[in-house]
Amino acid sequence: MLQAFVIAHRGVVRAGLTAVVAHFALFAGSVVAQTTIYTDAFENEETLLVSGATSSTGWVFDLDEANQSDARFGFDYSSLSIPEAPRSAPGDAAQRGVALRTNVAAGNIDSAGISLANPAFSGRYLVEVDMWLNWSLDESQVGTTEHAGLFVGNDTVDNPASPDFPVQRGAGAIFSSDGDCSNCDFILLKNEAELDTFSGQYTVTDFGFGNQDGYDNTDINADPMNGDLLDLPALFPSFSIPLNPSFTQPAGAVGFQWITLTADVDPNGGTGPGPVKGTTTFTVKNAASGESFTLGTVDNSILDDPDDGQDTGESPVDMEGQVSLVLIDFFTSVARDINEATVVFDNLVVSQIEEIGLDGDYNDDGKVDAADYTVWRDGNSPDNTPAGYDLWANNYGATTPPPAVAAPEPAGLAIVVGALAAGWITPRRRR
């Protein structure tokens, strides 16, 4: 019997059974079934101002400094010349989402965010959300750099090194608006700690400048020995900003454009020596070009290396049960126009992921053939007994069905698969 729980579907709260919106697709090299269990287009109009305030759809607002931030649900983002989000579904209210602002007065390092706790966010699950991050168009470049992103789960221990960011919980990825944060324009986080590239949790470990706090917007990796091939300026080209064409969005930074963030959560994953399991892989997609890349995988089983030049103080986190959308200001300056320094989120979809295997497919390539016999013969199959051989022989020739959609729902069917970006060597600055 399915357990009933409350879901918010396109901004309307309703109680019911788990949404059975399933399809099959190739995902991370495996054939999986993906079932949509939660969606929200943030259409209900309401504003949250006080830490702990709860929206009508169950989102809890959190901030650090009182009277510094707000969360505006049902926000009409056409007022900021923002086009419709890429994954909006037919019937959605046009150009509506949730907008966050923070640090409206000088002297504060601050953050604002909304979190949704739901016990259905457990096991292997996928979170997808569209994000548009503006920065204040100020010629003096004061108050322009803010970060926004996606977190899953919650902390299991307090991190005293990061007391100013109460919404920065669990495993997360955040991105700077204007590329003006040097090596911290693309950051992975665990237990509020910013992970370094030498930790092995990013897809690129070294851009040729040693250990880094994260990625710089100008970073390029053309050496496969250092990880995935990656060219951030090519993935996010510069352009004149429509809100004020006299300003140019820096190449390699995610501001003033729709991107889709994806978090693939596996509470049983892990490649490190630590005893605590759990991984979350973060993927970023440029909605305009369709190009995407995997930033990395936050891995509970990987421990902080005190000898790599970065003492992150990271600790394992609980990656289940909660999703958070955040805006963070690491600096104390105030934007010239707080309405410009805004992040908008739209089209959140959470899906349950279930891998579908074939009996006798011992190398997990989607077909039962002679290669699987070799795996069994060499003692590397789950069952190396004669029964394992019989399982292979009885299913010889079987293949997994091709990806096919059943009961389609546009916002729930988008799958973002991390792709390698082609690397071209171009001049870049040293830091």
pLDDT of residue 104 exceeding 70, the answer is no
What pLDDT was estimated at residue 382?
Answer: 86
Q: How confident is the model at residue 3 (pLDDT cuts 50, 70, 90)?
A: very low
Residues 14-73 have pLDDT tens digits of 323 334 445 555 544 456 788 999 999 999 999 998 888 999 999 999 877 676 788 999
The least confident of 128-137, 306-315, 342-351 is 306-315
Q: How confident is the model at residue 337 (pLDDT cuts 50, 70, 90)?
A: low
Q: How confident is the model at residue 311 (pLDDT cuts 50, 70, 90)?
A: low
Structural domains of the chain in order of their starting residue, each with its CATH number = 5-356 (2.60.120.200)
Q: How confident is the model at residue 426 (pLDDT cuts 50, 70, 90)?
A: very low
Pairwise pLDDT comparison (22 vs 127), residue with the higher score: 127
Pairwise pLDDT comparison (73 vs 135), residue with the higher score: 73
pLDDT of residue 13 exceeding 60, the answer is no
What pLDDT was estimated at residue 348?
Answer: 98
Q: How confident is the model at residue 411 (pLDDT cuts 50, 70, 90)?
A: very low
Residues 203-217 have pLDDT tens digits of 999 999 999 999 999
Q: How confident is the model at residue 336 (pLDDT cuts 50, 70, 90)?
A: low
H or E, element range at 317? strand 317-329
The least confident of 130-139, 334-343, 367-376 is 334-343
Type of residue numbered 141: Q
Give whichever of 38-52, 322-336, 352-366 has the largest mean pLDDT.
38-52
- Give the span between the Cα atoms of 37 and 238, in whole angstroms: 37
pLDDT of residue 132 exceeding 70, the answer is yes
Pairing of β 110-117 and β 60-63:
antiparallel
Average pLDDT over residues 115-127: 96
Average pLDDT over residues 336-346: 78
Average pLDDT over residues 307-314: 70
Average pLDDT over residues 321-347: 79
Q: Which two tokens stand for residue 151?
A: 């977190």
Ordered DSSP codes for 193-247? EEPPGGGS-BSBS-SSSS--SSB-TT-EE--GGGBS-EEHHHHS--EE-TT-TTS
Average pLDDT over residues 169-184: 88
Average pLDDT in the chain: 81
- Give the span between the Cα atoms of 301 and 273, in whole angstroms: 6
The least confident of 95-104, 120-129, 303-312 is 303-312
**pTM exceeds 0.95, yes or no:** no
pLDDT of residue 410 exceeding 50, the answer is no
Average pLDDT over residues 372-393: 90
- Give the span between the Cα atoms of 116 and 38, in whole angstroms: 11
pLDDT of residue 121 exceeding 80, the answer is yes
What pLDDT was estimated at residue 23?
Answer: 52
Residues 238-267 have pLDDT tens digits of 999 988 899 999 999 999 999 999 999 999
Average pLDDT over residues 152-164: 69
Pairwise pLDDT comparison (320 vs 3), residue with the higher score: 320
- Give the span between the Cα atoms of 198 and 96, in whole angstroms: 40
Pairwise pLDDT comparison (8 vs 147), residue with the higher score: 147
Closest CA to 300 of 332, 277, 318: 277
Q: Can you tell me whether residue 80 is helix, strand or coil?
A: helix
H or E, element range at 299? strand 292-299
Burial of 212 (0-12, 13-18, 19+ CB in 10 A): buried
